[in-house]
Structure 1
Amino acid sequence: MYDRKTWAVLAVCGSLLAVGMYQSNQNAQAKARLERARLEALPPVPTAPGTTPADPSAAPVTPGLVVNVPPAPLEEELVTLATDKVLFTFSNIGGGIKFADFKTEFQVGKKSDLVRVNERGGGPIGGLAGADETLENLSYTYLEAESVPAQKVVYSAKLADGLLVKKSFSLVATGEPGAPYLLDFVLNFENATAGPLNLQKYSIYAGEAAPLYQAEMPDWTGMLWLENNSMNFTKASSFKGSMLSSETSIFNSPAGKKIQYAGVTNQFFATVIRPQDSLETTVWAKPSQIKLKDGALPIKAIRAGLHLPDSLLAATAKKDISYRIFLGPKNNPLLQSMGNSWGELMQYGWFWPVSVTLNRTLNFFHNCLDGIAKKWSWGLAIIFLTIVVRLVIWPLHAKSTRTMKRMSKLQPEMAKLKEKYAEDPGKLNTETMGLYRKYGINPLGGCLPMFIQIPIFFGFYKMLQYAVELRGQGFLWVPDLSQPDTCAVLAGVPINILPVVMAISSFFQIRMTPKTGDAMQQRIIMFMPFMFLFFCYNFASALALYWTTQNIFSIGQTWLMSRIPEPELKPRKDSGKKTWVQRMAEQQAAAQKKRQQGGSGSSSATESQKKRSPRTGG
């Protein structure tokens, strides 16, 4: 079916892709080695031979020399609150949540290590930051009399400007949607000074978000805030700048907006602070560099905070502000059940109706299959969902296949038209549309299923991208459907099986599709699977499983359609009505003809003007 030249082009392109992937991996490893060598080569702080560093507090004071003695480290005391899903650990330093451990979520490839939020956060969630977004280094008093064991934690402190602060963190009543991941957070302020104080100079720290593993896409980590039910997102990677923008150290949202909630997120988990009532305030974000346990190089993380409202507190006046804190997974059924726009945390974007529907259907299939094949239930649910989607669009696919077969039979006549009207594109379009009309063919009929599949594919992609349900769930040889199915590493290149199967199945699917274009178009189309292999090689195996399943289904569907007698190509009875495609082609031809006539007319006029004799006076 294909000549040697086509196969040679495909072989060369495949080889170039493999070499490119290998070189990219080698460059990354070389950079990692150089960075490690640079860090190891940094000299230690020099000290005199045979001595130890002196204690600054014991050093003699030289006249005229000011010695800054560092403050003694604060003594930290930790208390905890727990639900069946989360263990919240509080610290008196900053008076907030130092970190939170998810009891049922584990680190990538490490079933013994729980996922921990704000592990390297630089401060507690619920801590107060000053005007420069710097967290206070203040020891709060744990109010044991007001705290309730296993239910409520209360801290109090006096800030440097004389503002008295009391913080209360309470578990939410069991049975409320999302309760295991929620805390009620109340701030009580009292102005203990003789003058007014504005609360707006303080902000509530929302913690830090970072990728869970070294290979996680950096664009999935960032700061988000909701205003007027519209989600806004700032990526952690955006602070480093680009060709068109410079590097920045802080981001502030526009003033004068009512913020419904704000926080930080990575691919699967979020920390969000939500005012009891929408507040007209701003949010800020700062980038940070962290080093993961399994990573060799620092990666971008992000820290954020929510400013207190613009409220002037008179002397001796008091004010209470209530919030709700969410620390949990971006689980669509969970967030949808919580209402109040919590579902916007899924960040499905324009395709959210498709993504939400697919996610609900995926969970339905999982619940049905969980009792039958618990180990592989999520993988089977993806396969079942893919088959259902393909069955729904079967009529469109069948119509498309019939249209493409009929169009392929018109190729000889199309070639004659191209030869006859090679110098007149407008006439060629008109005659081509007339040929389609003669045989009752809609040229867009072959493309319709492709257009239908575009929102389905992107909706599927978004849904699987944030499907925290798939973390740690295996299928066949795949240990984790939320990760690439790497089975080995050769010469530094991960060997992922499913993307290769996906590309091969795509190749055979395209090969079985009726051909309607010229030879060059066919070569480009045949190359597409290998291009998708390059772009999707390190995607989550769940997406590759979906794509492979639909390719295999399409191959079977195309084979079945080939068993059906080919449609007979015969002129249909002319109804006298023109299709809108034909009308557009005729309008285009008429416009082109008018332009040509106008051009020739002006040319003739110019020539006649040149031939005229010059006028003489008299």
Structure 2
Amino acid sequence: MSDNRNMILAIVISVLILLGFNYWTTSRLPPEPEISAQTSAQPGQPAQPGQPAAPTGAPTAGVAVPQPEAAQAAQAAAPNKADLLAAAPRATLQGKRVHGSISLKGGKFDDLSLPDYREGIDPQSPEIVVFRPQGLPTSYFAEFGWVAGGQTAVPSGETLWTADRPSLQNGTPLTLTWDNGAGLKFTRTIALDDNYMFTVTDRVENAGGQAVTLYPYGLVSRSQTPETSGYYILHEGPIGVFDTKLEEVKYDDLQEKGKIEKTSTGGWIGITDKYWLSAIVPDQKMSFKGRFTHHRENGQDKYQADFLGGAVTIEPGASATTTARLFAGAKEVKLLDGYAESLGITNFDLAIDFGWFYFLTKPIFYVLNYLRDYVGNYGIAILLLTVIIKTLFFPLANKSYRSMSKMKKLQPEMLKLRERFGDDKQRMNQEMMALYKREKANPASGCLPMLVQIPVFFALYKVLFVSIEMRHAPFYGWIHDLSAPDPTTIFNLFGLIPWDPTPLLPAILHIGVWPLIMGITMFLQQKLNPQPADPVQAKIFMFLPIIFTFMLAGFPAGLVIYWAWNNTLSIIQQWVIMKRAGAT
């Protein structure tokens, strides 16, 4: 057996993993198949935006019928957002972290943006917009209400509610009322906390002479398939938790199936983007039916996530109240964890796609976040995290580097054995193994530091990629966003030439300063390792730093900084050990 065969095998496997990882994280989702258009919501078919399905086994009378013609007319008459917002009376939304308005026509949450987040690094760039009014090609809104179990008039998407005040603010709820003229008074109280959670309390008073049966519902509706990141490791689209289990549905899968139904007690349902989430949360003690639906209307994709609660019977002279919640905002880790605990929302933290290494990824995030709070910069936090990881694996690395020192000291003896038994491979391997045993050297132990850091590498990549806290987080110098690749490139001499080649070149060719630093540190570390006597193996080792430099060029800058700093610490540790062992 060759002295470096195990190490070569480990490195090759690592390269293949990283290449595959790079491929998966840059491959686009497949094209979306066409689905035949549906113009009305019937039992067993996907509901139109703003229209929940009738409950199973319940009569459909009284269920509001969508009016696509009206939506088309509104779009033709008011082709822009400002005109659509002015077309119906509204209550302004003035929260600390959200603002916009709520439409009194239908009581829709259809105008909401996040002042804390911008589309670009420039603080003057546009705010992130979550909800847009119906009538726009990219409409996106949430709605709550009741489905009637009989011939009962209930509020619909066209109902004009009366508001008790002109605006909804943190700590100052907004109350909407509507009377159906047949003995039922509907009251909706909307409260907003200091972040992104709305509490919607619906109350029905029955002043009529007969009992009525109603079913509470909530929905999130989205028009047009949004542009997604297209990464294999990240879910964007319909999402929910049913009976504690996470359900993620791709847009194209929902197009193919048309409808996906789940039943649950507790949980939530909604639609997620990479950093933003809109989720409706039923009463966590209530049994409900959740659905994801898709249909095409006038050549446009329509997606909906909704829940339908159990029957609520209201006797004459009595009233009934249901409470649901709407989250519409940024997927901040601590915030979602806090809602899961304080409001008892089952597995609400799973809205952040921490992936298979959840058990490792989330602790790494919390350590990074704690260090950032202490030092004030996520880049410095990454450097400190690397020191912590190196400290944890210090005994393992020491053992590995001692073994590598022995291997380096044995190189003259190994060359003699190759010269002596070069034509007899079996005998040469036997003599090599005897030499290793006699000198207590393990040629495979040098692989351990690289293999151990691969799960950490993937977990840190996930943290940098999916955590909104890392979005637009600066380091120093030219790194203004640790979650994005190094913006410099060798093709314009790192910014000295006033030319941006990035649109013309694939990500793997965007060799910036930090990928080069990482490649140099990898080359220096390689020089400390025992050099293979086999020329083929020596060439493989020689090209590895170059291969990794190109591979990591398109990765987040924070990850490349971690790798370069980790290499630097390893070089120092390895050099000290080898010097003490007399192997340098």
Could you tell me the TM-score, scaled by structure 1's length? 0.63
Going from structure 1 to structure 2, the CA distance change for 1:162 and 1:528 (only over 3 Å counts) comes to: farther
Q: Does 1:167 align with 2:188?
A: yes
Who is 1:248 aligned against?
Answer: 256
Contact 1:362 1:385 survives alignment (8 Å) = yes
Trace 1:58-97 onto structure 2 (pairs within 5 A). 73=74, 75-97=87-109
Q: Match of 1:230, as an amino acid?
A: K
Q: Which residue pairs with 1:103 in the alignment?
A: 115
Give the 5 Å matches for 1:334-413: 334-338=335-339, 339=341, 340=344, 341-370=347-376, 377-407=377-407, 409=410, 411-412=414-415
TM superposition shift of 1:129:
10
**Once the two structures are superposed, what CA deviation does each residue of 1:481-514 show, in whole Å capped at 9, x if it has no partner?**
2222324622723745133443443344334433
- How large is the Cα RMSD of the aligned pairs? 4.5
Counterpart Cα distance in 1 of 2:291 and 2:534: 55
Report the equivalent of 1:126: 143
Give how far 1:307 is off: 1.6
Q: Which has the larger displacement, 179-188 or 529-538?
A: 529-538
Comparing 110-119 with 525-534, which one deviates more in the overlay? Answer: 525-534
2:573 & 2:295 partners in 1: Cα distance? 51
Shift of 1:170: 0.7
Q: Residue type of the partner of 1:361?
A: V
Give the alignment of 1:413-492 within 5 angstroms: 420=424, 422=426, 436-442=436-442, 444-474=444-474, 475-487=476-488, 489-490=500-501, 492=504
Question: CA-to-partner distance for each residue in 1:107-147, whole Å, 9 max, x for gaps?
Answer: 1244222112124652521346989xxx9642331332799
2:249 partner SS: strand
Q: What's the CA shift string for 1:142-193, capped at 9, x where partnerless?
A: 332799776222335589x999754331123xxxxxx422211223457989
Which amino acid in 1 is paired with 2:356?
W
Q: How does 1:145-544 map to 2 (within 5 A)?
A: 151-156=172-177, 166-172=187-193, 179-188=194-203, 199=215, 203-205=218-220, 217=231, 219-236=234-251, 238=253, 248=256, 250-253=258-261, 255-285=262-292, 303-311=303-311, 313=313, 319-338=320-339, 339=341, 340=344, 341-370=347-376, 377-407=377-407, 409=410, 411-412=414-415, 420=424, 422=426, 436-442=436-442, 444-474=444-474, 475-487=476-488, 489-490=500-501, 492-493=504-505, 495=510, 497=512, 498-515=514-531, 518-544=534-560
The alpha-carbon distance between structure 1 residues 148 and 82, as it changes in their structure 2 partners (threshold 3 A), is closer
Task: Specify the SS of the correspondent of 1:93.
Answer: coil
- Tell me, yes or no, if the aligned pair for 1:221 and 1:301 is still in contact at 8 Å: no
Aligned residues: 465
Contact 1:208 1:301 in 2 (8 A): yes
Q: C-alpha distance in 2, partners of 1:238/1:500?
A: 41
Inter-CA distance 436–500: structure 2 relative to 1 (3 Å threshold): same
Shift of 1:442: 4.3
The CA distance in 1 between the partners of 2:435 and 2:362, in whole Å, is 43
Find the aligned partners of 1:288 and 1:379 in 2 and give their Cα distance.
45
Structure 1 spans left out of the alignment, 5+ residues: 1-20, 29-67, 173-178, 240-246, 290-299, 371-376, 569-618
Aligned mates of 1:198, 1:265 — CA distance in 2:
29
2:45 matched residue in structure 1: none
SS of residue paired to 2:143: coil
- Cα distance in 1, alignment partners of residues 139 and 161 from structure 2: 20
The structural deviation recorded for 1:77 is: 1.9
Shift in alpha-carbon separation, 1:279–1:544, aligned structure 2, 3 A: farther
Per-residue deviation at 1:386?
Answer: 1.9
Secondary structure at the residue paired with 1:124? strand
Structure 2: state its 5+ residue gaps. Answer: 1-21, 29-67, 75-83, 149-154, 489-498
Q: Which has the larger Rg?
A: 1
Who is 2:159 aligned against? 139
Rounded Cα–Cα distance in structure 1 between residues aligned with 2:550 and 2:191: 49
Please state whether the residue corresponding to 2:572 is helix, strand or coil: helix
Q: Residue 147 of structure 1 contacts residue 154 of structure 1 at CA under 8 Å; is this kept in 2?
A: no
Partner SS, residue 447 of structure 1: helix
CA distance in 2, matches of 1:193, 1:534: 76
Distance in 1 (CA, whole Å) between partners of 2:321 and 2:421 is: 80
Q: CA deviation at 1:268?
A: 1.9
Higher relative contact order (CA 8 A, sep 6+): 2
Distance change in 2, residues 1:538/1:319 (3 Å): farther
Q: Is the 8 A contact 1:95 1:124 kept in 2?
A: no
CA-CA distance at 1:466 after TM superposition? 2.3
Cα gap change, 1:142/1:517 in structure 2, threshold over 3 Å: closer, same or farther?
Answer: farther
**Does the CA-based 8 Å contact 2:93-2:100 persist in structure 1?**
yes
> 1:354 is aligned with what amino acid?
L
CA distance change for structure 1 residues 196 and 530 in 2, over 3 Å: closer, same or farther?
farther
Q: Which amino acid aligns with 2:500?
A: V
Amino acid at match of 1:386: T
Is the contact made by 2:196 and 2:328 (CA closer than 8 Å) also made in structure 1? yes
Q: Secondary structure at the match of 1:89?
A: strand
Of 550-559 and 521-530, more deviation after overlay is shown by: 521-530
Contact 2:92 2:167 in 1 (8 A): no
Cα shift at 1:196? 6.8
Does the CA-based 8 Å contact 1:515-1:522 persist in structure 2? yes
- Tell me, yes or no, if the aligned pair for 2:405 and 2:578 is still in contact at 8 Å: no
Structure 1, residues 218-273: CA drift from partner, whole Å, max 9, x if none?
8442222123443332234655xxxxxxx6263414x3333412222222222222
Matches of 1:90 and 1:148 in 2, distance apart? Answer: 9
User: In the aligned structure 2, how far is the partner of 1:209 from the partner of 1:186?
Assistant: 30
Where do 1:534-613 residues align within 5 Å? 534-566=550-582
**Are the structure 2 counterparts of residues 527 and 100 from structure 1 closer, same or farther at C-alpha, using a change threshold of 3 Å?**
farther
8 A Cα contact 2:162 2:178, kept in partner: no
Task: Tell whether the 8 Å contact from 2:142 to 2:218 is kept in structure 1 after alignment.
Answer: no
| Counterparts of 1:80 and 1:467, CA distance in 2 | 30
**Cα distance in 2 between the residues matched to 1:69 and 1:154:** 30
In 2, distance between residues paired with 1:517 and 1:128? 75
**1:536-561 CA-partner distances (Å, limit 9, x unpaired):** 43332222222222233333333333
Q: Check 1:429–1:529 CA distance in 2 against 1; reply closer, same or farther (3 A cut).
A: same
Q: CA deviation at 1:322?
A: 1.4
Report the TM-score when normalising by structure 2.
0.66
User: How far 1:519 sits from its partner (Å)?
Assistant: 4.1
**Is the partner of 2:445 in helix, strand or coil?**
coil
Does structure 1 residue 116 correspond to structure 2 residue 124? no
Q: In the TM superposition, what is the alpha-carbon distance from 1:303 to its structure 2 partner?
A: 4.3
Q: 1:553 to 1:94 in 2, by over 3 A?
A: farther
Amino acid of the structure 2 residue aligned with 1:265:
T
Deviations 1:365-384 (A, max 9, x none): 222223xxxxxx22222222
